[in-house]
Amino acid sequence: MNRAAPAKINLSLRVLGRRTDGFHELETLMAPLALADEVSVEAADAFSFACSDPSLPADDSNLAVRAARLFCLRGRREASLALRLEKRVPHGAGLGGGSSDAAATLLLLNDFFQAGRTRAQLAEMAAELGSDVPFFIWESPAWCRGRGEIVEPTTLATDAEILLLKPPFAVPTPSAYAAWRDARELPGVPYGPQASPWGPLVNDLERPVFEKHLLLPAMKRWLLAQPECEAALMSGSGSTMWALLRVAADGAALAARARGEFGDQLWTCATRLSGRV
C-alpha cells in the first residue's frame, strides 16, 4: 500500500509577530504540488524504515518514522510494519517535504490498519509532529494560521504551471525566523506584493533569508525579468524560488536557461498545483 506525499509552495506568507511560546504567529496560503514523494507500507515482523535518499536520517529524527511510531502508540498497536520512503522532493527547500512525508504516513497507516480516524483527528496528531504537518493532512490548498497548525482548506481560482528552482544549499527554518525581526530589505530587490489569480503574492521571510543568501534575490530578479514568468517568490523559508508561469510558457526551456545562468547544480522542476483546487 502506498500514498503520495506532495510538495507545497507558499503563495503568501505573513509573519505577524513572535508568540510567547517561542513560535511565530503566521498567516499563510499554501498549495500542494504535483511533485511528490511516495510512502509505502507492508506488514512485517518488526518495524523497519528505508529511504531512497541515503543522506536522510533513518532513525527517530526522521519525521516519517516519528509519525509511524506516534500513530501506533496512539492506537496501542505494535509497530510491526516495513515503511519505505521514495524521495523526490529536496529537503531544506521550503517545500515541506519532511512534513508531507509525516502526514502521508499518518494517512497511509490510517488506511493500512483500517483505523477510521477522521482528517480532523489525524490533523491533531499531526500538529504534535510539526507546524506544517496538519496542512498536508487535508490534501488541499489552505489558509494556515497560528504557528501553522490552524488549517482552513480552500479552493483556488485557477490551476497553473509552476517552475521550482533550488540552489545547492538548504536554509534552516529556525535561522530564518530568528533573523526576521531585525532583517532589512536589500536595495534593488522587489519585496512587495505581486498580483496573481489567488491574490497578492508576498513572503515576509524573504528579508532575513535574502540578507544571508545573496544568490536568492539574484534568482528572484532574474525570474521576474523572464518573459515566461508572471510572478516569482521564495517558498517558505527557502531555499527554493518558484515562478508562476504564463499560459503556454515552456517551463522546461526556462529551467534549462536557469541552469545556464546559475550553474548545473541548480535543481529544477516544472510542476503544477494539485489537490482540490
**Which residues sit opposite 50 in a β-bridge?**
84
Catalytically annotated residue among 8, 87, 166, 220? 8
Assigned C-alpha cell, 129: 509532529
* Residues 269, 163 contacting (CB under 8 angstroms): yes
* Residues 23, 147 contacting (CB under 8 angstroms): yes
- Residue 202 per-residue DSSP state: E
Question: Cα separation of 186 and 147, whole Å?
Answer: 27
Catalytically annotated residue among 101, 132, 166, 220? 132
* Residues 105, 71 contacting (CB under 8 angstroms): yes
Give the CA distances from residue 21 to residues 57, 120, 134, 161, in Å, rounded to whole numbers and listed in that order. 28, 23, 19, 38
* Residues 71, 27 contacting (CB under 8 angstroms): no
The H-or-E segment that residue 3 falls in is strand 2-18
Determine whether 132 is an active site residue. Answer: yes
Determine whether 212 is an active site residue. Answer: no
* Residues 233, 191 contacting (CB under 8 angstroms): no
The catalytic residue positions are 8, 132
